[in-house]
Every structure is written in structure tokens, then in C-alpha cells.
Structure 1
Amino acid sequence: MVQKPFPSNRDKRHYDTFELLHFDICGPMEENSLGGSKYLLLIVDEASGCMKGFCLRAKSESEDCLKTIKTYIMKVQKQFGKKVKFVRHDGAREFATNSLKDFYQDEGIEQQTTVPYAHQTNGTAERAIRTIVTIGRSMLHHAKLDKCFWAEAAMMVIYVKNCLPSRERHRSHGGEHSKRCVTHLLRSVRDVAPSYFDDVFVHSGAVNGKTDVEMHKEHLRKLLGLMRKHKLYANLKKCIFGASEIPILGCLVGKNGVRPDPEKVRVINEWPTLSNVKELRQFLDIATYLCKYVENYAGKIRPLSQLLKKEAEWKWTAECQQAFDAVKQGLTEAPILAVADLDRPFHVVFASAEAS
């Protein structure tokens, strides 16, 4: 007996964005992530192909999976005004709990379960999660990183795949669609409220006799009015109002410039002395993200970089300890980086490849 292949030319366009969601879960992984996660939950939108990944500590033994799915569906319906009508997954126990069934029934969502031992019927999620895990492992192997970074690698793969254009989606994708939607709807205030994916940053200064606080309130009213008009929702717990500086991508940005997040600096300063290559990679992974605040960073960490070479023997010398302390000291005394003023002359300093 031979199983016939499923047709590959099925039409995917009759579903609206976020109308049908595919679920799949992978794990347990070989090693726990740095956050203690063991499983990867993937949600794929049928129409746009937009993917969203979540790292879970447990599978069916806790409420992690249930809470994650419910939160994502409610976020889609409230933020994008889209109604989720169908969810499709295999017969895994974590997707067939009574709590999830009750939630689907209350929300009017039809639950579709694929045929056992025929994952081709849900090939969208199956193929996607297999691709993500495979590419993530290749990234870790190429970068010579420990397997405990699998969660960061998986999230990076998902982000990149969401940013890639797709021919069947008319050279657009789910993440790009959401970004363009927000940018388009808020285009009238983009000069004072630029957006970065699902984040909006409002900056104001004193103009025409009005104080910066008065202008800030005026800009906020315009922005919130547009959001109310187009049914865009903000999470109040994540909002910051009237601040002199705000956190953006691990840094604090204010009127005086950009400086590293004190919490990240504190973590680095409290880092104990390194004892193996794995700990060294973890330390450099965080420190290198803030390297722009340390003068001659590449030169200072050169003794540490030598320990990462393929055939290097681990030997923590006084020179290594000095380099380790120099990075900590450099971040502790990190300057505030001013935004470049293109109307004024300034110097550009770059590293030379000869030293490396």
C-alpha cells in the first residue's frame, strides 16, 4: 500500500489575514535555553505567512501553552481588528485541553485537527518549524556558540523569514504588512512620533513659545486620536509618558544623547571571573552589544578573543583578567553618545583590519 501525496497546488488566498492560524510545537531541545525554556511553539498565519515563535518552559504539564495561545489570539483580534476563525494543528495533548476548547467555543473559533500520522495535512507549520530549528542549529554551529542559545537563534530565524519578501504574497509578508499598516495610519504624525514595528516613540521640544511639556501633550493627543480612529491599541503597562529618556533596544535615549541601559551594565559588572569557553561566549555576547560605548573595544578584548580560537588552550592569565576588568570599567564609565549633527564637522574613527 502506497500513500498518495497531497496536492501541492491548493489555493491559500481564500483566507483573510489571521483568519486561519497553524500551530505546532517542537521539543524538548537538547539543552535548556538561557531562560530555562525547553520547547518552541510556532504560530503561522495561513494568508500572510507571518510567523510568531514562543519559547516555553513546559509543554502540557503547565498553563504556558494555553496562556500563550490565548494571549496571541486576543492580541491579534484587538490590535489588528482581525477575527480568528480557524486554528489548525495536530492531535498533541497541549492543543486539545478542555481549557483551550472552552476558549475556542467562547470566541467562536473552529478547531481543526489534522489526521494522525499524516503531517502533510498541516504542512505549513510542520515545514516551518523544521526549517527554523535546522537553520538555527546551523547558525550556532557556524558561530561556534553553545546549544543553550537555541532560543535566540530560533527567534532570529523567525524575524529574518518574516522580513523576507514572498512572491505569492506580492512581495510582502506578515511582519512587513503590520509595519506598513501602522506607518501608513500614523503618517500624519511621523515627524514627532516615528514607529518601529509595533513601538511608537513620541519626542517633543519647545516651539513657538510653547514649552516642551505643552508640545508633548499636544503631540500625544494627536497620536492617541489617530490610534482611536483606526482602532490601534496600546498596552498601558508598557507605555511610558513624559519621560526625559526612554529605553530602546538596550539603550536609553534622551535629549542629551544615547547611553547604555544601567541594568545591562550592572549585569556585566557583577559577572564573576570566567572559567571556560562557554562562559566567555556568554559574557562577550552581552558586552559586544554595548561595544560602541567602550573606546578601542576590539583591542581591549583581544586576549579574550584569542581563547576562542579553535585550537587554543584555556588558560586564564593576568592579561585575560586585565582585559576582562577593562571591559567592565569601560562600560561603567561609558560616555553619553550624542546624535551626529550633519550640519557640523565631526571625526569618523574606525578599526583597522591590519591588527586582526
Structure 2
Amino acid sequence: MNLLKKDLADGISFSGEKDGHCITCLEGKQSRNYSEELEGKCLQLVHSDVCGPMSQESRSGGRYFLTFIDDHTRKVFVYIIRSKVEVFEKFREFKSQFENQTGKQIKILRTDKGSGYVNRDFKNFLRNQGIKHELTIPYSPEKN
């Protein structure tokens, strides 16, 4: 419905009209093609964080969840884990799966200084894969 024709948009500044429709409304209804997004800067920067322990276990016994977010596409991957020890294993799984799907490699992994990320095995793996590890302050999820 056109808000301008129904006099419901008095005093509101729009970016213009096209064929009697608000351009902002039309742009807001457009969808993006995911394949176009992947061609850009996909996997340049991946954010990750561990959340938990939760008071209730999942059906599989997990009390934590692990997230990986591609900064460019904002695609989110979530893994349910039982303990922080599983972070390294799930990162390797995520890396393999997403890199195979996109044909691109992770350049930077940004995490906090949690025990799941700061250990010798994880550090050596990132170095051998050529992935820069950026660390943020613990308990600041807005920076992850």
C-alpha cells in the first residue's frame, strides 16, 4: 500500500517516488543474491565466540554454543558443544566446510581471549594455515 496516497506519511521525508511508490520501501523489499555476496570479501574476517554454560543441557548434552560469523556476508554458523575443549575441533570443521563451499580461505579470526581459543594447538594450527588471530577483551561480545 502506498502511504503517500493514504495521507499517512505527512511530514516524513522519503528518498523519492517511483511509479507512485516510495523508493525506500521498494529498496527495503529487494532481496540480495547470496552468490553475489560470496564473490566479494567473504572470509576476510570471521568473528567467533563461545556462550555458556547454559543452565539446561541440549538433547545432545551440550551446555555451550559456539558461533562463527562471516563479517562480509553476516552468515552465522552455530555449533552446540559440551565443553570449551571442543572449540578447536569445531573451528576446523567450520573452516573445512565453508572454505570448500566458497573456494576462499579465512584470512582473520577474531575472538576473545577465552580458553577455547588461546591454547598451543589452536595457535599452531592458525599459524600453519596463515590465519591471523585477532584477540579482543574477554566478556565484550560486542567486539566479537
TM-score, with length taken from structure 1: 0.28
Contact 2:52 2:64 in 1 (8 A): yes
Equivalent in the alignment of 2:72: 47
Q: Deviations for 1:1-20, whole angstroms, at most 9, x for unmatched residues?
A: xxxxxxxxxxxxxx711221
2:18 is matched with which residue?
A: none
What corresponds to 1:38 in structure 2? 63
Match of 2:101 among 73, 79, 93: 79
Matched, 1:109 2:131: yes
Structure 2 portions without partners, runs of 5+: 1-39
Shift of the 57–120 alpha-carbon distance from structure 1 to 2, 3 Å rule, reads closer
CA contact (8 A) 2:47 2:70 kept: yes
Q: Deviations over 1:34-87 (max 9, x none)?
A: 111110101111000000000001123xxx211110111122222210110000
Q: Say if 2:50 and 2:67, in contact at 8 Å, map to a contact too.
A: yes
Aligned counterparts of 1:59 and 1:118: Cα–Cα separation in 2: 18
Asked if structure 1 preserves the Cα contact closer than 8 Å seen for 2:46 and 2:110, the reply is yes
**2:52 counterpart residue number:** 27
SS of the equivalent of 2:122 reads helix
Question: Hey, what does 1:250 align to over in structure 2?
Answer: none
Aligned-residue sequence identity (percent) comes to: 27
> What code does the residue aligned with 2:108 have?
F
8 Å contact from structure 2 (residues 111, 135) kept in 1: yes
Tell me what 1:93 maps to. Answer: 115
**Counterparts of residues 1-356 of structure 1 (less than 5 Å):** 16-60=41-85, 64-116=86-138, 118-122=140-144
Return the TM-score normalized by structure 2: 0.67
Once the two structures are TM-superposed, the CA of residue 29 in structure 1 deviates from its matched residue by: 0.9
Q: Whose strand fraction is larger, Structure 1's or Structure 2's?
A: 2
Structure 1 segments unaligned to the other structure (5+ residues): 1-14, 123-356
Distance 1:51 1:28, change over 3 A: same
Distance in 2 (CA, whole Å) between partners of 1:50 and 1:91 is: 23
Displacement of 1:26 in angstroms is 0.7
Larger radius of gyration: 1
List structure 1 segments (4+ residues) > 4 angstroms apart after TM superposition: 116-119
SS in 1 for 2:84: coil
Letter in structure 1 aligned against 2:97? K
* Structure with greater contact order relative to length (CA < 8 Å, sep ≥ 6): 2
Counterpart of 1:104 in 2: which secondary structure? helix
How far residue 119 of structure 1 moved from its aligned partner, in angstroms, is 4.3
